Amino acid sequence: MIKRVLVGFLLSLNCSFADTFTFSAIPDEDESRLKQRFDKVAAYLAGELDIDVKFVPVKSYAATVAAFRNNQVQLAWFGGLSGVRARLLVPGSEAIAQGVEDPEFRTYLIANAATGLSKADAFPAGIKGRSFTFGSKGSTSGRLMPEYFIREHFNAAPEAVFSRVGFSGNHSRTIALVQSGAYEVGAVNFKVWDNELKAGKLDPTKVTVIWTTPPYPDYQWTIRGDVDARWGAGFKDKVKTALLDMKDPDLLGSFPRQGFIPASNDAYRPILETGKSIGLID
C-alpha cells in the first residue's frame, strides 16, 4: 500500500514537472541580478502562454548549453556563441527572437585610468604587454569577438600578446577587476557597461572605454524544436509571439533591450564561422 502511494506521488510530481515550461539565461551578470531579471519574465510568459513557466538559473555559460541539450530547459536567452553551440547539439532548435540591438552588437575594450590609454577609433596597439581579462570563456562579447580582433591585429594568440590573461566569469566582474587595477585592460559587453554607467555602478575616472569593435550578431532567444510535441501544435509560435509582444519597459529593462525582433539561425552564421576560425567551435 505504501509503495503504491509513493509511486503515485512520484508520478504526480513528474507530471507536474512535465507541465512546466522552463527557460534559462547565460549568467552574464551576478546570480542575484539574474534572478531579479528573469523571475519577472517567467511571470510574463506564464500569463501569455497560460501554463506554468519557471526560470532556472545556472552557474556558467557551458551549464546553460548543457541544460538546453539535456531538455532541462526548453528555451534560453543565449549569447551568439552559446546559442550556436546549443543549436548544433540539439537538431531542430531555432533562434526565434533577438533584441533590437542584437544584430549590431559591440564589445568595448576598457582600461584602468593608470594605463594612460584613451579612447580612439583605431585598434589600441598600446594594450600589448598589459594584463588583460576576458569575461566568460563562452561569451561572445566577452571572449569570442575581442579575441578575434586581437588575433587579427597582432597575428598572435592573446597569451602571446598580454603579460597575463584572465577570465572574469561575467561582464560586471570584468568592469570591477579593471576598475580596481587587478587587470589593466578588459573586454566587456557594451550594454552591461552602458547600463552600469547609467546606474552609477562604475567610476569613469578609474576605468574608461578605449575602443569599440565593429558590429556583430549576439544575444537571442533559442527554443527546442520538440516543444510543439510536448505542449501542442503552434506552441513554438505562441512563445515567439509572446517574446515579440513584450512591451513593458520594466521587463525590457531586465535585458536591457528596447524590444525584441524576429531572429533566425542563419543570422548567426558569422558567429559560427568566427568560432571555427579561432578554434572555439569544432
Lowest mean pLDDT across 4-13, 23-32, 178-187, 271-280: 4-13
pLDDT band for position 18 (cuts 50, 70, 90): low
CATH number of 2-102+217-277: 3.40.190.10
The residues facing 94 across adjacent strands are 223
Q: What is the pTM of this model?
A: 0.87
Is residue 8 scored above 80 in pLDDT? no
Q: Return the pLDDT at 67.
A: 97
Mean pLDDT of 115-133: 97
Pick from 79, 106, 102: nearest CA to 209? 106
* pLDDT tens, position by position, 218-236: 999 999 999 999 999 999 9
Sequence ranges of the domains in the chain: 2-102+217-277, 106-212
pLDDT of residue 2: 46
What percentage of residues in the chain have a pLDDT greater than 70?
Answer: 92
Confidence class of residue 37 from pLDDT cuts 50, 70 and 90?
confident
Q: Please, are residues 105 and 98 in contact by the beta-carbon 8 Å criterion?
A: no
Please determine whether the domains at 2-102+217-277 and 106-212 fall in the same fold group of CATH.
yes
Q: Are the beta carbons of 82 and 135 closer than 8 angstroms?
A: no
φ, ψ at 212 (rounded to 5°): -120, 130
Phi, psi of 98, deg, nearest 5: -140, 160
- Average pLDDT on 179-191 reads 97
pLDDT of 15 reads 40
Q: Please, which pLDDT band fits residue 28 given cuts at 50, 70 and 90?
A: confident
Strand extents, DSSP E, the chain: 21-25, 53-55, 75-78, 94-99, 107-112, 131-134, 164-167, 185-189, 207-212, 220-223, 260-262
Pick the CATH number of 106-212 from 3.10.310.10, 3.40.630.30, 3.40.190.10, 3.30.450.20: 3.40.190.10
Q: What is the mean pLDDT of residues 17-37?
A: 81
| 78 vs 6: CA distance, rounded Å | 38
Query: What is the rounded average pLDDT of the residues 248-254?
Result: 90
Burial of residue 143 (CB within 10 Å: 0-12, 13-18, 19+) is buried
Pairing of strands 220-223, 94-99: antiparallel
What is the mean pLDDT of the segment spanning 150-166? 97
* Whole-number Å distance between alpha carbons of 160 and 129: 9
How much is the pLDDT for 3? Answer: 46
Specify the pLDDT at position 35. 82
118 Cβ contact partners less than 8 Å away, ≥ 6 residues apart: 208, 210
Rounded to the nearest 5 percent, the helix, strand and coil shares of the chain are: 50, 20, 35
Q: What pLDDT, on a 0 to 100 scale, did the predictor assign at position 34? A: 78
